[in-house]
Structure 1
Amino acid sequence: MNKLFGKTFLIALCVIGFTVTGNAQPGPPPPPDENPVPITGIEFLIAAGAAFGAKKVYDKRKAK
């Protein structure tokens, strides 16, 4: 009788444990930002490089 109670108790404990952890689902994802693509440092480097190149071309044409 004691073995039957132990097995029943273990099965009931597992069922209750799995039920509680199975219900712990994450919430919905947050809504997207208004600006999904922020300006990072690479865009500033590209803009600075373009401005530097344009100045070099301008100075070369002015020297001729």
Structure 2
Amino acid sequence: MKTIYVTAIFIFMAVTVFAQGGPPATPIDGGLSFLLAAGGAYGAKKLMDRRKNK
């Protein structure tokens, strides 16, 4: 009888562990903004270089 209680306790403990939520979402706004700004600057430089060569 004691083993049944111990088994039940471990089963319910496992259920509560899996019921918890995952880690919070990581914001990517700072890095994404930097990449967009760098890409825009690179594109503007390429356009200026292309116009300068013509």
Distance 1:52 1:32, change over 3 A: closer
> Is 1:52 the counterpart of 2:49 in the alignment?
yes
Correspondences of 1:1-64 after superposition (within 5 Å): 4-19=1-16, 21-26=17-22, 29=25, 33=29, 38=33, 39-40=37-38, 42-57=39-54
Name the structure where helix makes up a greater proportion of residues.
2
TM-score (norm 2): 0.52
* Aligned sequence identity (%): 12
Query: Which string of whole-angstrom CA distances, capped at 9 and with x for unpartnered residues, describes residues 36-57 of structure 1?
Result: x5212x3222211111111122
- Which structure would you say has the larger Rg? 1
TM-score normalized by the length of structure 1: 0.48
Which residues of structure 2 form unaligned runs of 5+? none
Q: How many residues align?
A: 50
Q: Which runs of 4+ in 1 moved over 4 A?
A: 27-33
